[in-house]
Amino acid sequence: LSELFELDPDHDHGGAIVEHVITADPQNMKHDDYVKNFTSEEGRYIRHLDMLIKVYRKSLNELSDVFTQDKLEVIFGNIDDLYELSVLLLGMVEDCLEMADDGEEEGKGKCPQIGSCFAELAMNNEFSAFSVYVDNIDDAIKLLSEIRETPEVLNMLSSLQPSIPMFREAVLYVLHRDLLEPIYHCLYYFEIIQSLMHTSTDGGDKDNFSDAYGAMLTVKAHIDRAASEHLPKRREELQRLTVGGARGYHATVRKLRSLQQSIDLWDGPGISVLCTEYIMEGSVGFMREGSKKKTDRHIILLDGLAICCKAHTAKKSSSSLQTPDWRLKEKLNMRKVEIRD
């Protein structure tokens, strides 16, 4: 793990790191696979909420002259309720899985039945916390936009830089997207519930998933309506970026590997080893410090790398070997990049 997280794309690792081969296909996934997918995704989502609460909100609370409690409530809404809900749901699911494991040891192996976890919380209207959250999100985004236009606030954010590097930039350019994730995680619940219901082999478990889905339809309609009316572009962006979920994960891996094949002269570990998230790409004018000459570059931005390429000038071959679209010029390790706004 240490080698993986400290991986330097500029260093030759001698082929020691081998890309993990993804064998699971969403169309062939079994019930157990979807359960594992859910526990992994829920754990990741809880860590995301933890970051919003303990990094963003806690740090902004130190600037109480500007970020009053009222403003923090506008920005973060009822995020504590969402955190408690997810922790509770994951705990209930893990208890069910532990009971299923005990049953296997006693020779009574059954597919894990976690439908009751969703049904119990849905029947108690616990998922309505998402409706409250989405009602607040427009005000949160609006307040963050106002912050970008206030020099006094920007200076105060910069004062936190020594203890939290890049915090000012994170608040200005990342926080609004991080705040949207709970909304789309709720929509992920509907996808995973349907997948679990269709793959479960237990009739009672299927009924529980069906009951949960039905009880949550009001919440889904609420979120769908708000997202379509107010957040269409952000919704499309977040769905494009999301790695979580079976389809999202495999689609992302395929995207990263497709990028790898489109770039000539690549060396070192593969893109899917160094990165987990495709963000965007496009053409830019590239200027180095001290030079007045502008060069055209195609930039592929990932969470771990910014890949600078040039259009491949080689003529397309009629052979079966396809000529890559781009020729690698430079790889920028995002962990080592300083952003000057």
The model's pLDDT over 52-111, given as tens digits with 9 standing for 90+, comes to: 999 999 999 999 888 999 999 999 999 999 999 999 999 999 999 998 877 665 545 567
Per-residue pLDDT, 210: 96
Per-residue pLDDT, 287: 82
- Which residue bears the tokens 């071959």? 317
Per-residue pLDDT, 335: 85
Q: Is the pLDDT of residue 264 over 60?
A: yes
Confidence of residue 205 (pLDDT cuts 50, 70, 90): very high
The overall average pLDDT reported for the chain is: 82
Q: Is the pLDDT of residue 319 over 90?
A: no
Confidence of residue 245 (pLDDT cuts 50, 70, 90): very low
Which phi-psi region, left, alpha or beta, contains residue 265 (left: φ > 0; alpha: ψ -120 to 50)?
A: left
Per-residue pLDDT, 241: 40
Residue 155: both structure tokens together: 């200076």
The model's pLDDT over 277-298, given as tens digits with 9 standing for 90+, comes to: 888 889 988 887 888 888 899 9
Residues in the chain: 341
Nearest residue to 85 via CA among 196, 185, 215: 185
Q: Tell me the whole-structure pTM to 2 decimals.
A: 0.74
Per-residue pLDDT, 236: 45
Q: In angstroms, how far is CA 221 from the centroid of its own chain?
A: 23
DSSP helix/strand/coil, 113: coil
State the amino acid at position 311 in one-letter form. Answer: A
State the amino acid at position 44 in one-letter form. Answer: R
- Which residue bears the tokens 């049953």? 103
The residue with greater pLDDT, 21 or 24, is 24
DSSP helix/strand/coil, 115: helix
Residues 6 or more apart from 300 whose CB is under 8 A from it?
Answer: 259, 278, 281, 306, 307, 309
Residue 266: both structure tokens together: 């690549």
Neighbours of 39 (CB within 10 A): 16
The model's pLDDT over 134-180, given as tens digits with 9 standing for 90+, comes to: 999 989 999 999 988 888 888 888 888 777 878 888 898 889 889 98
Per-residue pLDDT, 242: 41
Residue 22's alpha-carbon distances to 246, 250, 254, 256, 265, in angstroms, are 11, 8, 9, 13, 24
Q: Is the pLDDT of residue 49 over 90?
A: yes
Confidence of residue 309 (pLDDT cuts 50, 70, 90): very high
Beta strand 305-311 with 263-264: parallel, antiparallel or unpaired? Answer: unpaired
Per-residue pLDDT, 86: 98
Is the CB of residue 259 less than 8 Å from the CB of residue 324? Answer: no
- Pick the range with the lowest mean pLDDT from 3-17, 111-125, 142-156: 3-17
Per-residue pLDDT, 19: 39
Neighbours of 82 (CB within 10 A): 25
Residue-by-residue DSSP string for 134-174: HHHHHHHHHHHHHHHT-HHHHHHHHTTTTTSTTHHHHHHHT
DSSP helix/strand/coil, 283: strand
Residue 85's alpha-carbon distances to 128, 133, 232, in angstroms, are 10, 13, 26
Return the exposure string of 258-270: e unless at least 16 CB atoms fall within 10 Å of the residue's CB, then b.
ebbebbeebebbe
Which phi-psi region, left, alpha or beta, contains residue 294 (left: φ > 0; alpha: ψ -120 to 50)?
A: beta
Report, as an integer, the average pLDDT of 119-134: 96
The 3-state secondary structure of 24-82 reads: CCHHHCCHHHHHHHHHHHHHHHHHHHHHHHHHHHHHHHCCCCCCCHHHHHHHHCCHHHH
Dihedral sign from CA coordinates of 160, 166, 172, 178: negative
- Which residue bears the tokens 């769905």? 239
- Which residue bears the tokens 């269709």? 198
Per-residue pLDDT, 214: 96
